[in-house]
Structure 1
Amino acid sequence: MPQLNPNPWFSIMLLSWLAFSLMIQPKLLSFPHINPPTNKTPTTTKITHWTWPWT
């Protein structure tokens, strides 16, 4: 079964991951963010408890 032989496919996978991590990823990370995250203040909501008629 040739698909179980990892010799050619492991090197192809390793080279593609190296190309992604060394060339493509820095180019993608250099793009400016369109919607930068902002710090939101936590809002507290008042909880109204339900009064059950049978208690």
Structure 2
Amino acid sequence: MPQLNPNPWFFIMLSSWLTFSLIIQPKLLSFVSMNPPSRKSTTIPNTTPWTWPWT
């Protein structure tokens, strides 16, 4: 079964993984987020219970 022969596929996987890790990933991580996350307030909103007309 030729699918089990790792000779050509291992090199392709290794080279694509190294390309991603060494070239593409640092370029993607260098971008600055235009909308950085901000801390939300921890106050609990004041809610009123719903009054059902049929009860």
Q: Would you say same fold, with TM above 0.5?
A: yes
Aligned-partner Cα distance in 1 for 2:40–2:47:
21
C-alpha root-mean-square deviation of aligned residues, in Å?
A: 1.8
Identity of aligned residues (%): 66
Aligned-partner Cα distance in 1 for 2:25–2:37:
21
Count, aligned residues: 51
The residue number in structure 2 matching 1:30 is: 30
User: Which digits, 9 at most, give the CA deviation of each residue in 1:13-34, with x for residues without a partner?
Assistant: 0110111010001111111102
The residue number in structure 2 matching 1:41 is: 41
Structure 2: runs of 5+ lacking an equivalent? 50-54
With normalisation by structure 1, the TM-score equals: 0.71
User: Which digits, 9 at most, give the CA deviation of each residue in 1:1-46, with x for residues without a partner?
Assistant: 1111111101110110111010001111111102111111212145
Structure 1: runs of 5+ lacking an equivalent? none
Moved over 2 A (4+): 45-49
With normalisation by structure 2, the TM-score equals: 0.71
